[in-house]
């Protein structure tokens, strides 16, 4: 399992942008497609909202990759 720590610099980050910022996808559009495909979960629950607001303390999972947002 790969763990990534993302340091938040504002109140929240949109889920599709988070995918881009941590390097899982090349663009926000590719991030939207990844979320829409149903492979992304937030705090253990499947997330289909492409622009869901991810805040500090939440964990995003894609396959065996865990992103901790701080």
Domain 2-69 CATH class label: alpha beta
Domain ranges of the chain: 2-69
What gap in Å lies between CA 36 and CA 68, rounded to an integer?
21
What predicted TM-score, i.e. pTM, was given to this entire model? 0.93
The token pair at 65 is 């990759």
Confidence at 41, pLDDT banded by 50, 70, 90: very high
Give the mean pLDDT of 11-18: 96
Q: Report whether pLDDT(39) > 90.
A: yes
The token pair at 18 is 């988070």
Residue carrying structure tokens 């253990």: 44
What gap in Å lies between CA 44 and CA 9, rounded to an integer?
24
* Whole-Å CA distances, 28 to 19, 22, 52: 8, 11, 13
């Amino acid at each position: 399992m790969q763990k990534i720590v993302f340091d938040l610099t504002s109140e929240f980050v949109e889920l599709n942008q988070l995918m881009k910022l941590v390097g899982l996808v090349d663009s926000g559009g590719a991030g939207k497609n990844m979320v829409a495909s149903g492979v992304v979960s937030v705090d253990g629950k499947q997330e289909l909202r492409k622009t869901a607001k991810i805040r500090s303390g939440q964990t995003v999972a894609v396959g065996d990759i865990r992103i901790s947002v701080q």
